[in-house]
């Protein structure tokens, strides 16, 4: 089984690429490295010191004797997409290769357009290359639970059966995404679903929750393989921010009322979920949707979990509410289904266990690398990006 990982230098992509490689899959990484470029432009950095992709892959080969093919280029360049796929000959294509930050997409018009063009055109190029050259490959596409928004009814996995005026149909679940980034994922989902219908491609859309954690078995083998930990106001998540704030003695900053409820999973479960999707491919013509998360928490619940875990380590942790830079419901119903992956055998990790062994411990170990200036939000949904002093992006 040969798996091509688009975005394999990123957080989820790197962990999954190593995992499959160790299991004996043929693995190739496609990446433009643009995420590292954006970090420099925005003057932010991962807490953990990640090495350049070529050094990471070299270390992996030294440790395990296994090679990973590397294709550096942009998915919006069709010749590159096609030639990478023709060289590698994938059985499965796992597509993490998109701009994945909501605040980034809300910075200004340029970043909104860049996000949608990068994601939509890259994804179109992948499905056209599959249609023209690899019609039997299985596309495993990373979507997001944020595609659904926060409806007042239960969130199903991609489809919902609607009874209406005495008739019934199973239709795509309505989408109410909350940023230009989340919108780009909705666009992708519609495009892929259409390609499956007319070209009989096979695809699995993984509507993933917020991923947390640094450790996977493979990245733990050597510090040179360490994964990202983003805590800045643009690429960081609330949970990561809280862990770093706890480690350095800063109050945890909850945006708004904190009743915003989202879905979460451990990076070790991301790796496993994608593995389950690949091992059980969609049928030709099938556009399959899995909701990929293991637990639901409100932001307040997250803050209290971090506070409790931090206090077990002897840290003193305060919690503060601040004005919400986003526009979102702060109190709402939220109940999302996630049975498809559990039915395939997923054994979830629990956040309460992972906090200590895969998050706060990293925050403490690398606290000397914390840049206090990047933690505060720099992007508001209403007014876009306000650059720190001396930065114009």
Binding residues for a second copy, per CB under 8 A? 78, 109, 112-113, 116-117, 120-121, 124-125, 128, 132, 151-154, 160, 162-165, 167-169, 171-180, 183, 186-187, 190-191, 193-194, 197-199, 327, 333, 381-382
Q: How far is the CB of 291 from a second copy (least distance, A)?
A: 15
Residues 129, 132, 133, 138, CA torsion sign: positive
Q: Of 332 and 369, which CB lies nearer to a second copy in the complex structure?
A: 332
Q: How far is the CB of 174 from a second copy (least distance, A)?
A: 4
Strand order in the sheet with 138-144: 69-72, 26-31, 2-6, 92-95, 138-144, 202-208, 287-292
* Closest among 361, 372, 369, 375 to 49, alpha carbons compared: 369
Q: How far is the CB of 190 from a second copy (least distance, A)?
A: 5
CA 379 to chain centre: 19
Q: How far is the CB of 213 from a second copy (least distance, A)?
A: 30
What is the spatial distance between Cα 235 and Cα 345, in angstroms, rounded to a whole number?
31
Q: How far is the CB of 172 from a second copy (least distance, A)?
A: 5
User: Interior CA angle at 32 toward 371 and 100, to 5°?
Assistant: 55
Q: Of 13 and 143, which CB lies nearer to a second copy in the complex structure?
A: 143
Write down the catalytic residue from 11, 173, 181, 362: 181
Instruction: Please indicate whether residue 181 is annotated as part of the active site.
Output: yes
Tally Cβ neighbours within 10 Å of residue 140.
Answer: 28
Q: Of 49 and 174, which CB lies nearer to a second copy in the complex structure?
A: 174
Q: Of 100 and 228, which CB lies nearer to a second copy in the complex structure?
A: 100
Write down the catalytic residue from 46, 48, 115, 144: 144
Instruction: Pull the structure tokens for residue 225.
Output: 């393989």
The dihedrals phi and psi of 384, each to the nearest 5 degrees, come to: 75, -150
Write down the catalytic residue from 25, 185, 204, 307: 185
The DSSP annotation for 287-354 comes to EEEEEE-SEEEEHHHHHHHHHHHHHHTT----EEEE--SS---SS----B--HHHHHTT-----HHHH
Instruction: Pull the structure tokens for residue 175.
Output: 């989408």
Q: Of 114 and 230, which CB lies nearer to a second copy in the complex structure?
A: 114
Q: Of 180 and 231, which CB lies nearer to a second copy in the complex structure?
A: 180
Tally Cβ neighbours within 10 Å of residue 343.
Answer: 11
Q: Where are the alpha helices (DSSP H) in 232-298?
A: 238-248, 267-279
Please give the helix or strand (H or E) that residue 114 lies within, else none.
helix 109-133
* Closest among 178, 210, 174 to 189, alpha carbons compared: 174
- Computed on alpha carbons and rounded to an integer, the radius of gyration of the chain in Å comes to 20
Q: How far is the CB of 315 from a second copy (least distance, A)?
A: 36
Instruction: Please indicate whether residue 255 is annotated as part of the active site.
Output: no
Q: Of 185 and 262, which CB lies nearer to a second copy in the complex structure?
A: 185
Instruction: Please indicate whether residue 253 is annotated as part of the active site.
Output: no
What is the spatial distance between Cα 155 and Cα 163, in angstroms, rounded to a whole number?
16
Q: Of 163 and 368, which CB lies nearer to a second copy in the complex structure?
A: 163
The DSSP bridge pattern shows strands 167-172 and 159-164 to be antiparallel
The dihedrals phi and psi of 304, each to the nearest 5 degrees, come to: -70, -35
User: Interior CA angle at 300 toward 371 and 159, to 5°?
Assistant: 105
Q: How far is the CB of 164 from a second copy (least distance, A)?
A: 4
Q: How far is the CB of 2 from a second copy (least distance, A)?
A: 24
Catalytic residue IDs:
144, 181, 185
């Amino acid at each position: 089984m040969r798996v091509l990982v688009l975005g394999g230098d990123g957080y989820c992509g790197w962990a999954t690429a190593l995992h499959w490689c160790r299991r004996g899959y043929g693995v190739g990484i496609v990446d433009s490295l643009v995420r590292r470029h954006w970090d420099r432009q925005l003057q932010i950095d991962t807490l953990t010191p990640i090495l350049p992709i070529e050094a990471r892959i070299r270390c992996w080969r030294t440790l395990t004797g296994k090679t990973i093919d590397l294709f550096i280029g942009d998915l919006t360049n069709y010749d590159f997409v096609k030639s990478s796929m023709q060289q590698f000959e994938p059985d499965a294509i796992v597509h993490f290769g998109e701009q994945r930050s909501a605040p980034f997409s809300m910075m200004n018009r340029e970043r909104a357009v860049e996000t949608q063009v990068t994601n939509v055109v890259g994804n179109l190029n992948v499905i056209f290359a599959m249609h023209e050259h690899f019609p039997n490959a299985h596309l495993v596409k990373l979507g997001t639970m944020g595609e659904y928004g926060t409806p007042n009814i239960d969130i199903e996995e991609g489809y919902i059966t609607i009874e209406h005026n005495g008739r019934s149909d199973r239709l795509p679940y309505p989408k109410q995404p909350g940023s230009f980034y989340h919108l780009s994922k909705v666009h992708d989902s519609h495009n892929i679903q259409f390609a499956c219908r007319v070209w009989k491609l096979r695809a699995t859309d993984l509507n993933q929750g917020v991923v947390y954690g640094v450790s996977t078995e493979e990245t733990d083998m050597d510090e040179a393989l360490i994964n990202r930990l983003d805590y800045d106001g643009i690429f960081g998540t609330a949970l990561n921010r809280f862990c770093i704030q706890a480690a350095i003695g800063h109050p945890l900053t909850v945006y708004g009322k904190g009743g915003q409820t989202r879905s979460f999973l451990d990076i070790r479960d991301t790796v496993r979920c994608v593995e389950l999707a690949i091992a059980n491919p969609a049928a030709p013509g099938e556009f399959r949707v899995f909701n990929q998360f293991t637990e639901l928490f409100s932001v307040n619940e997250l803050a209290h979990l971090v506070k409790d875990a931090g206090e077990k380590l002897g840290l003193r942790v305060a919690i503060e509410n601040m004005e919400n830079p986003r526009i979102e419901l702060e109190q709402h119903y939220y109940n999302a289904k996630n049975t498809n992956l559990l039915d395939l055998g997923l054994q979830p990790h629990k956040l309460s266990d992972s906090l200590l062994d895969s998050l706060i411990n990293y925050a403490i170990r690398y606290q000397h690398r914390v840049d206090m200036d990047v933690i505060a939000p720099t992007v508001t949904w209403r007014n876009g990006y306000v650059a720190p002093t001396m930065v114009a992006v």
